[in-house]
Amino acid sequence: MLSKTARDELEKQHYRIVGDHSAVKTCGWTKKMLKGEGGCYKLKFYGIMSHQCMQMTTSISCANRCTFCWRGYKAPVSKEWKWQVNDPEMIFEESKKAHEKLLLGYGGNAKVTKSMYTQSKDIKHVALSLTGEPIIYPRMNELIGMFNRDGISTFLVTNAQYAEQIRDLKPITQLYISVDAPNKELLKQVDVPLFPDYWERLNQSLDYMRQKKQRTCIRLTCIRGINMVEPENYAALIERGNPDFLEVKAYMFVGASRERLSMDNMPSHADVLAFTKQLTKYLPDYEIVSEHKPSRVFMLAKKKFKRNGKWFTWIDFPKYHELALQGDDFTTEDYLKVTPKTGIDDSEIKVDEKTEELEFWKAQENQVTI
């Protein structure tokens, strides 16, 4: 699938290529958590232990060329699966080995405690999102079965260009759809899709998302001056997909996206909050639950997940695995846990926090996390 040059380039950027079409890379938050510097926003929102998370993809190729993506335009793109289909057991085993190998150096790092390092070898979560479009791997359901079997939670992100694959996907812990624009014209400008019927594909994907019984989430990536418009039209798309959760997140000015966008396109945390508040006016079933400042992101949830004044957005992972092994007859409600820390702090986000967070993201050059 990959030319030698492309493979070498990715390896130089600390990717480990697995087989012909998969890849693993250590997430910046995994490293941070190992060093005792805090976890990612999915720890705060859902209970993901960032130091036990493996970031990977099952397809380096994608059907979009999103302007805000760190990937360069030389990265592989394609509408159809054209490559040899690797065995899921091989991907499963080799990805875990590659992940562990990438973390080897942390065993001797003075900032990393022995127990954290030992725990990191026990992978508990997989983020299928690193790069490309993981859902087009034709044997994805078999791979998911292996993660479910071994007690590894699955977060999968898709750009909604393969609706049937969403429809046919077995239960996963949390399914994401990226909604990058509120209307057809803007989606073409932001995502630069290969499919001419990209808008219909997005809408069909949202219809299939609506039919899912387990946890779903729609993520908006806010690009200042480009797609932070028409909240009512975003709301219509969100209502169509009817997700349990919503994430409204800032675009980060990193990687090859800097050739297409400018620093001004990166909204501040306060900008993202202002847009999130506009959105909530059109989404009466949702409420803002939490924020994560370093990632400039807000999480909203359906109001039904607030019980007696407490939010339940964390995941009961053992319960999820128990249910997933029994079949698909279970719902989001069956594996919820109370969210330990909620609320937003409007008072502190007036300052435009350019520096520390951006430095972190820059340090993760070519690092995209779900």
Chain residues that interact with ligand SF4, rule: CB under 6 A: 27, 29-30, 40, 42, 48, 50, 53, 55, 127, 369-370
Nearer to ligand SF4, 55 or 59 (CB): 55
Nearer to ligand SF4, 53 or 289 (CB): 53
Q: Least CB distance from residue 82 to ligand SF4, whole Å?
A: 27
Q: Least CB distance from residue 172 to ligand SF4, whole Å?
A: 13
CB 124 within 8 A of CB 152: yes
Closest to 46 measured CA to CA, from 295, 362, 318, 299: 299
Show the 3-state SS of 70-84: CCCCCCCECCCCCCC
Nearer to ligand SF4, 187 or 248 (CB): 248
Q: Least CB distance from residue 295 to ligand SF4, whole Å?
A: 8
Q: Least CB distance from residue 103 to ligand SF4, whole Å?
A: 12
Q: Least CB distance from residue 130 to ligand SF4, whole Å?
A: 8
How far is it, in rounded angstroms, from Cα 271 to Cα 222? 9
Q: Least CB distance from residue 102 to ligand SF4, whole Å?
A: 13
Q: Least CB distance from residue 62 to ligand SF4, whole Å?
A: 18
E runs forming strands in the chain: 16-18, 22-24, 53-57, 125-128, 153-158, 174-178, 216-222, 245-250, 286-292, 297-302, 306-307, 310-311, 314-315, 336-337
Closest to 301 measured CA to CA, from 337, 330, 270, 328: 337
Q: Least CB distance from residue 231 to ligand SF4, whole Å?
A: 26
User: Number of helices and strands (H, E) in the chain?
Assistant: 13, 14
Nearer to ligand SF4, 145 or 294 (CB): 294
Nearer to ligand SF4, 48 or 324 (CB): 48
Nearer to ligand SF4, 27 or 179 (CB): 27
How far is it, in rounded angstroms, from Cα 117 to Cα 107? 6
Show the 3-state SS of 143-188: HHHHHHHCCCEEEEEECCCCHHHHHHCCCCCEEEEECCCCCHHHHH
How far is it, in rounded angstroms, from Cα 297 to Cα 221? 9
Nearer to ligand SF4, 105 or 196 (CB): 105
CB 191 within 8 A of CB 183: no
How far is it, in rounded angstroms, from Cα 261 to Cα 351? 23
Nearer to ligand SF4, 63 or 127 (CB): 127
